[in-house]
Amino acid sequence: MHELGLMSSAMDAVLQQARSRGAQRVHRIVLRIGALAGVEPESLRFAFDVVTRDTIAAGSTLEVDAVPARARCAACAEDFDAGTDYVFSCPRCGQLSGDLRQGRELELAQIEMS
Amino acid sequence: MCVECGCDQPVPFGIKVLRFVAPGILRANTVPAVAAASTAVAAAGAQVERKTVDLHVPLLAKNDQVAAGNRANFRGRKILALNLVSSPGAGKTTLLSRTLDEFGLETKCAVVVGDLETDNDARRLARPHAPVAQITTGTACHLDAGMVAKSVESLDLTGVRVLFIENVGNLVCPAEFDLGEELRVVLISTTEGEEKPLKYPPIFKTAHVVLLTKTDVAEALGFNCALAIENVRRIAPQAKLIQLSARSGEGLVEWYELLRAHLFRP
């Protein structure tokens, strides 16, 4: 997808948070990324290096908190691991589900700063 | 910000409102628009201890905020907004043309149509009874909520009950950009083969409605309808599926019924 644009939007948020807390350096950034968010972690890392350059986050580390995809089966009324192939087939009854409960997260989760 | 390379250059996009004068004679109002550039930030403040802050900041925040504003605007005005997405050439414009000529006569519709270049689609869609705006995105491969907000401002939506947003022909990127629509409609045409849902699952996963178009030529193409439907069902069991042909008229009654069923009560 648009990892560089995304990362840039993340960095806007990071800098805003850091500034509002009077921080001078950002040391570590944690992003929460769902398995079905359509984001390539490798591209994110590349983008991270580009967007942190010449900012107070230059040289900081990027961590990705990966969130597995889980869908709900309407028949069993239970959540199951949905994998990453976009076919959400209930392991108990085989019914297909379109009800994704988690796995599309794209969030700034944590910042370590000083 | 530029979505292509992430640089801080503003992305220029154009909006053209087509006023229907007579067939073939069109006057256009060009409204230049420039996406807001992101601001560089210099941090200041006293030296403090290292601290860790837990957050939940969505990364598409800017687009999502604008999309939420669009949605509130559309709902407030009781306008049903639909985001039509498909690969290039799946028949979005042809379907909309006929929809405006039939359904559009009983229910006032407006169209916002996105392409990288040309206002050809807006010209095809311009009708005396339907306001149409063309967004030219330049190099951007999808519409975003800001472009839609800006283009809607330039349209007279008095009396409009349905807004069709025809996205840039692309089955990948539009999946990630909420425009503030009520319904996301994904088109797949018989000329594209049966496997599109399996090859481009994210967009189908987010669909409220899937339209299987160009059914009139399915037989000549050797298109396996049952297999295509099974593939749609596997990826998008949540979606309402309609098979139609904007040329023969097959399935259009069902399409108009779906639109009627989702109209906001005046």
Question: For residues B116, B117, B123 and B129, what is the CA-based torsion angle, rounded to 10 degrees?
Answer: 40
Q: Report the pLDDT averaged over residues A4-10.
A: 86
Mutate to test the interface with A, among B48, B50, B57, B142 (most CBs of A within 10 A): B57
What would the pLDDT profile of A42-90 be if each residue is shown by its tens digit? Answer: 888 889 999 999 999 999 999 999 999 999 999 999 999 998 888 999 9
Burial class (CB in 10 A: 0-12, 13-18, 19+), B118: exposed
- Which three-class secondary structure state does DSSP give residue B221? helix
CB contact under 8 A, A31 and B59: yes
pLDDT of residue B35: 34
What would the pLDDT profile of B50-92 be if each residue is shown by its tens digit? Answer: 999 999 888 876 788 899 999 999 999 999 999 999 999 999 9
CB contact under 8 A, A36 and B205: yes
CB contact under 8 A, B45 and A24: yes
The token duo for B190 is 């018989």
Chain B residues 219-238 with CB within 8 Å of chain A: 233-238
What would the pLDDT profile of B130-172 be if each residue is shown by its tens digit? Answer: 999 999 999 889 999 999 999 999 999 999 999 999 999 999 9
Tell me yes or no: is domain B14-33+60-262 CATH 3.40.50.300.
yes
CB contact under 8 A, B52 and A24: no
pLDDT of residue B48: 60
Chain B residues 142-171 with CB within 8 Å of chain A: none
Judged against a pLDDT cut of 90, whether residue A1 lies above it is answered with no
Instruction: Locate the DSSP E strands across B59-177.
Output: 80-85, 109-115, 132-136, 162-166
pLDDT of residue B21: 52
pLDDT of residue B31: 39
Domain borders along chain A are: 3-113
- CA gap B237, A99 in Å, rounded: 9
Nearest-Cα distance to chain B for A48, in Å, is 11
Domain borders along chain B are: 14-33+60-262
Q: How confident is the model at residue B45 (pLDDT cuts 50, 70, 90)?
A: very low
**So what CATH class is A3-113?**
alpha beta
Closest of B158, B53, B15 to residue A28, by C-alpha = B53
Backbone angles phi, psi at B111, to 5 degrees: -135, 135
- CA gap B169, B137 in Å, rounded: 12
User: How many C-beta neighbours within 10 Å does residue B183 have?
Assistant: 16
CB contact under 8 A, A111 and B49: no
